[in-house]
Amino acid sequence: MLSPTFVIDGIYKSMEGPKASRYIQLENSEKLLWITGFDVKALDATTNDALPNDYICHMNVDLNDAQYYSYWQLNDRIGMQYPRMTSLSHGLEHFDFPKGYGVPIIGKDFLFITTQTLNHNQPKIFKKVKHEVGVKYEAYNKSQKPLMTRTVYIQLPFDKNDPFKGPLDTASNQCIPVETKNHTYCDKAGNMLSGHWVIPKGTRTYRSSIQEQLQIKDSLRLHFSAPHVHPFATSISIYDKTTDKTIFTCNVKNYKNRIGLEKIETFSSEKGIWLYGNHEYELVMTCNNTSKTEQDMMGSMFLFFYDKELDEKIQNKL
C-alpha cells in the first residue's frame, strides 16, 4: 500500500506530522489467511527513492472488531479494547511473528491503515514523502497458531486542578501531561491519568500497573511484543510484582548524532512465556533525556498471545 503524498515543511515531533488513512484488503476472497509480519518504508514522492526512516512516525493497523469477532462467534470480545492490531514506529519499522504464529484474517476483510510523518532534526525543509506499507501473509495450512493482541501502556497520574505545574517530586509517580485532551484517562478512584507526558533532562524510570489492560482471566501464553516509545527512552519491560521478577526487557537504541530511535528491540518466542491472572504486572520504562530541553514521552506494547479459543473455533469451522 502506498500512502498519499505528505509535505514535510518543518519540525514535526511524534504524533504531530501530516498523516492519512486507507482501507486495504489482502485478497478479494473468502480464504483464511495468516498475517505473519509488517513493514513500512519512507519514499521520495517524486523519485520513489528510499529515504531515511527518520520520516516515519507511525504505521497503525486497525481491525473492524465487530466484523472480525462476530465471524468467529466471539461476540463477547467486541468493544472490549481499542481495535488496534499493532503499530510500527520510528526504530521499529518492520517485524515478523515467531515461526508458526500469526493473526488469522479472511482475505476480503478490511484493514484500516494509518501512516504519519516525522521530522525531529531538519527545521528548514520542504520534502514530499510517501510511505510504503507491506503486510506479509500466507495461506492457512492447518499448522499455524493464532495470536490475539492486547495493548498495554503506561498511565501516570497528574493533578487535574493544575496539570502543568512543575517541577514534580522526583520520588512521586506523577507526571506533567503534554496536553489533557488526548491520551487522558480516569481510573476507578477518579484520578486523572496521562499516557503522553513530559520528561525532564536526565534519567528517569516510569511505571504503572497493566492489570486491567491485560484482561487475563486465568493464564495466557505470550509469544511476541512490539513496543512503542519516543526518543530518549532507553528500555521498556514487563515486570511481575508478584514474583519480583522482570519477565523481559526490550532495549531501545537512540541515535548519537541526532534525535531519533535507531532500534527498538522486540520480544519473540516460539515457546512462549506464561502470564497469570492472579499475578500483578507493571510496565516499566527507563529514559535518559540528553537534550537541552524537556521532551514528550509515551510507553506502550502490543502483546500477542496464543489464542486457544480462536484456535478451537477455526478447527471446528474448517
Beta bridge partners of 134: 39
Residue ranges of E strands in 142-188? 145-153, 156-157, 184-186
pLDDT the model gives residue 167: 84
pLDDT tens track for 63-112: 999 999 999 999 999 999 889 999 999 999 999 999 999 999 999 999 99
Q: Tell me, which fold does domain 6-142 have in CATH?
A: Jelly Rolls (2.60.120)
pLDDT of res. 90: 96
According to the model, what pLDDT value does residue 147 have? 98
Q: What does the alpha-carbon distance between residue 150 and residue 118 come to, in Å, rounded to a whole number?
A: 26
Please tell me if the domain spanning 6-142 has the same topology as the one spanning 150-308.
yes
Q: How is the chain split into domains, by residue range? A: 6-142, 150-308
Cβ atoms of 211 and 236 closer than 8 Å:
no
**Residue 171 binned pLDDT confidence (cut-offs 50, 70, 90):** confident
- In angstroms, how far is CA 266 from the centroid of its own chain? 11
pLDDT by residue (tens digit) across 131-149? 999 999 999 999 999 999 9
pTM across the whole model: 0.95
275 CB-near residues (< 8 Å, 6+ apart): 214, 216, 219, 220, 221, 222, 247, 281, 305
Q: What is the pLDDT of residue 182?
A: 84
Cβ–Cβ under 8 Å, residues 175 and 168? yes
The overall average pLDDT reported for the chain is: 95
Helix residue ranges per DSSP H, 268-317? 308-317
Residue 37 and residue 200: Cα distance in Å, rounded? 35
Which of 209, 214, 213 shows the shortest CA–CA distance to 305? Answer: 214
CATH code reported for the domain at 150-308: 2.60.120
